[in-house]
Amino acid sequence: MKPVLTLLLSGLAVVLASCNGRAAEDNRPGRPFTLAPAATFDEPWAVAFLPGSETVALVTERGGTLKLWRQGQEPLTVTGTPTVDYQGQGGLGDVALAPDFAKTGIVYLTWAEAGPRDTRGAVLGRAKLITGTAPRLEGLSVIWRQAPKVTGAGHYSHRIAFSPDGQFLFLSSGDRQKMTPAQDLSNNLGKVLRLLPDGSAAPGNPFAEKGGVSAQIWSYGHRNLLGLHFDSAGRLWDIEHGPRGGDELNRVQPGRNYGWPLVSDGDHYDGRAIPRHATRPDLAAPAISWNPVIGPSDFIFHSGRAFPGWKDQAIIAGLVSGGLVRVAIDGEQAREVERIDFGQRLRDIAEAPDGSVWVLEDGGSGRLLKLEPNSDAARP
């Protein structure tokens, strides 16, 4: 029995060491916060916090599950979700609340949808969220689709951002790894789109006279846009993946061409050079770019309530960087201020209604973590 007991105790020691190691990573010195784990999800992709005094959030899992989480409780599965095309980078994507969610309960979801002949594309849907002990979506309907559907399973983008006045829904639509559609105004791939909340093209868009999906386009020449947010001044920004180098933070303006694949601050994966942004001053250049890449997943403009030194800065969650990248905005330009290492790919970042900052880890056991400020939180 003694060897068996020794083996059991040894295994327990390994488990405890592993747990303590992760806790040590969560509370490493020199950071302006400690990390408070709240829940664990299977390949989480996006988080959206509900209004109210309770801390409640919706979390999408890429395999197709939507979870409703209340602080201090286990996440509940929301029924009534769509069938998703779960492969490559595809699956269940973004989740956002309607501007009038407190009154209507309407939520928006994006996901990858299968099409004919091995094609697929992103779609946007909306439904009413019914909360409680058995949460569900009611009346889910698709209100927008990427056009055309194409082969492959990458670069869906499909991030949602409502304008500050709540009148318009902005949506990122990736180039689907096809590159050239980003320069073609007859499709909605590689674009930022400006829609009405019902998914139709908003009036007054730059290419409205062309009709069809062209009427949806706000800006074009984009690659894979995984973050889309308004700053405190009401200006729209996106963050997107470059190829081998050339990740970008862009101020998104109507009718502008952001250059992909004509220019980039990175090169093709096979080593072929791409002309740099500086060679084409007629095209919109990024406010800041990264080479090597940071692999951004999303970002926020922080209100400064939790971290006063971060007020109005872009706080970028990174996949390749494995942490946060803090960027200050200087008019139309931006500069990197700090990198904060997590030693872990981060899939999303969000600010809750109380001003607290939360991140989602990437992967099969991705944790939802709250950033608890410490005495260094006010440093600029």
Q: Please state the rounded mean pLDDT for residues 185-206.
A: 98
Q: Please state the rounded mean pLDDT for residues 230-256.
A: 98
Cα dist. 153→181, 199, 311 in Å? 16, 23, 37
Domains of the chain by range and CATH? 40-304 (2.120.10.30)
- What does the pLDDT read at residue 145? 98
Dihedral (C-alpha) 273, 276, 280, 284: value to the nearest 10 degrees?
A: 130
- What does the pLDDT read at residue 226? 98
Q: How confident is residue 379, by pLDDT bands cut at 50, 70 and 90?
A: low
- What does the pLDDT read at residue 23? 55
Contact between 344 and 321 (Cβ < 8 Å):
no
Which run of H or of E encompasses 8?
helix 2-26
CA distance 178 to 158: 16
Task: Residue 33: name the closest of 354, 229, 242, 307 by CA.
Answer: 307
Q: Please state the rounded mean pLDDT for residues 302-313.
A: 98
- What does the pLDDT read at residue 131? 96
Q: Which residues are CB-contacts of 115 (< 8 A; sequence separation ≥ 6)? A: 121, 149
Whether the pLDDT of residue 352 is over 60: the answer is: yes
Q: Which of 24-38, 248-262, 362-376 has the highest average model confidence (pLDDT)?
A: 248-262
Whether the pLDDT of residue 3 is over 60: the answer is: no
CA distance 24 to 379: 23
pLDDT tens column, 56-103:
999 999 999 999 999 999 999 999 999 999 999 999 999 999 999 999
Q: Please state the rounded mean pLDDT for residues 287-310.
A: 98
Q: How confident is residue 15, by pLDDT bands cut at 50, 70 and 90?
A: very low
Task: Residue 80: name the closest of 96, 93, 91, 64 by CA.
Answer: 64
Give percent above pLDDT 70 in the chain.
92
- What does the pLDDT read at residue 7? 37
Cα dist. 348→52, 101, 163, 298 in Å? 21, 21, 20, 5
Q: How confident is residue 22, by pLDDT bands cut at 50, 70 and 90?
A: low
Task: Kindly tell me the number of DSSP H helices and DSSP E strands found in the chain.
Answer: 2, 24
Contact between 195 and 216 (Cβ < 8 Å):
yes
- What does the pLDDT read at residue 27? 75
Q: How confident is residue 30, by pLDDT bands cut at 50, 70 and 90?
A: confident
Whether the model clears a pTM of 0.75, i.e. scores above it, the answer is yes
Q: How confident is residue 167, by pLDDT bands cut at 50, 70 and 90?
A: very high
Q: Is 277 a catalytic residue?
A: no
CA distance 156 to 151: 12
Would you tell me how many other CB atoms lie within 10 Å of the CB of residue 88? 14
| DSSP SS3 for 358 | strand
Beta bridge partners, 360, equal 348, 368
Annotated active-site residue in 155, 158, 229, 241: 155
Whether the pLDDT of residue 369 is over 80: the answer is: yes
Cα dist. 317→294, 300, 321 in Å? 9, 9, 8
Give percent above pLDDT 90 in the chain.
90
- What does the pLDDT read at residue 11? 44
- What does the pLDDT read at residue 377? 58
What's the start-to-end Cα distance of the chain, in Å? Answer: 60
- What does the pLDDT read at residue 53? 87
Whether the pLDDT of residue 33 is over 60: the answer is: yes
Higher pLDDT, 12 or 49: 49
Contact between 193 and 177 (Cβ < 8 Å):
no
Please give the backbone phi and psi of residue 82, each rounded to the nearest 5 degrees, phi first: -80, 165
